[in-house]
Amino acid sequence: MSDIDIRIAGRAGRITLTRPQALNAMTYEMCLAIEKAFDAWRADDTVQIIVIDAEGDRAFCSGGDIAELYATGTKGDYGYGRKFWADEYRLNHKIFGYPKPVVSFLQGFTMGGGVGIGCHGSHRVVGESSQIAMPECSIGLVPDVGGSLMLALAPGRLGEYLGITGTRMNAADAIYAGFADHYIPELKWTNLIAELEATGSIEGVTQSAEQSDTGTLEGQLDKINALFAGERLGDILTLLKTDGSDFAAEALKKTSRNSPLSMACTVEIMHRLRGPSLTLEKALDLEYRFTFRAMEHGDFLEGIRAAIIDKDRNPQWQYADQDVPLAAVSKMLQPLGPDAPKLQETTP
């Protein structure tokens, strides 16, 4: 497959995304190929470590390749998208619980589906170009691929803030928010990967880690906690509108571009996840409740039309006044029963 290079190098199972011209966007075929490799390497004693990287300077993985989702969904075929998401979430779950070290190198943009591939492993490496974000609300989805787990675990109300604004995190912010582990200057990555292949040991990662440049999130946390503590989207928007600060104005500007239904469901997902019962399985189940319905009942197809197809940047969202009824949120997040994702299955 020309979009991805999967091989064994020394003691490492190696996965390299090779679509730099498309910012390494994840296709369905790439997703299945990665899962097949993880399944094969689980019991292969010659593979002691998994290393995931990507070609190009601009992106590790900018997200999922959504053109096919749009093409099928606009014809009334929702099955393809539902299968894509179910299989993708199964892979995310597999990476999260993998019994061998999984090291990912996250240069440039790591967003959406890229977070699902790159941010569930045991050792997540960022560098000076790293920009990590969950911008799904801008296309009528919710933060998914297990990203809602990291958002719910992030300090304070960062989950709501990052989830409904899609704010990008640099290396320091990504480490602070729990999306990455180690900052290593990117000039060192090639030699480090060669060492990982030769030794099969993750010691080189921890030994190479350095202090990153400063981020902004930690210094903004008190304000974020105050402004994003509302129980519902409407509460948060009211706090932002009455605050008067530049920070609040910028957050409002970002939320004004996004699907109100998606944002309202994101806030609800954060609140349902937090607490002692938080697991990745619960996060993926809630995410899939939304994505399963996103084409038929949500704003996903309109979001893709405005952003990718017509590129008019003028989506006609449901609830454009940002007053989302509780019933609409409940409808999107109802349990799916037999359609719930089967996370324990192996590659079909």
Catalytic status, residue 35: no
Q: Rounded to an integer, what distance in angstroms lies between the CA atom of residue 85 and that of residue 189?
A: 31
Catalytic status, residue 113: yes
Catalytic status, residue 210: no
Query: 149 Cβ partners below 8 Å, 6+ apart?
Result: 273, 278, 279, 280, 283
- Per-residue HEC secondary structure of the chain comes to CCCEEEEEECCEEEEEECCHHHCCCECHHHHHHHHHHHHHHHCCCCCCEEEEEECCCCEEECCECCHHHHHHHCCCCCHHHHHHHHHHHHHHHHHHCCCCCEEEEECEEEECHHHHHHCCCCEEEECCCCEEECCHHHHCCCCCCCHHHHHHHCCCCHHHHHHHHCCCECHHHHHHHCCCCEECCHHHHHHHHHHHHHHCCCHHHHHHCECCCCCCHHHHHHHHHHHCCCCCHHHHHHHHHHHCCHHHHHHHHHHCCCCHHHHHHHHHHHHHHCCCCCCHHHHHHHHHHHHHHHHHHCCHHHHHHHHHHCCCCCCCCCCCCCCCCHHHHHHHCCCCHHHCCCCCCCCC
Q: Catalytic one among 35, 144, 268, 281?
A: 144
Handedness of CA 289, 295, 300, 304 (dihedral sign): positive
Q: Rounded to an integer, what distance in angstroms lies between the CA atom of residue 333 and that of residue 269?
A: 8
Q: Catalytic one among 13, 64, 114, 163?
A: 64
Catalytic status, residue 76: no
Q: Catalytic one among 73, 81, 108, 113?
A: 113
Q: Catalytic one among 65, 136, 160, 173?
A: 136
Residues belonging to the active site? 64, 113, 136, 144
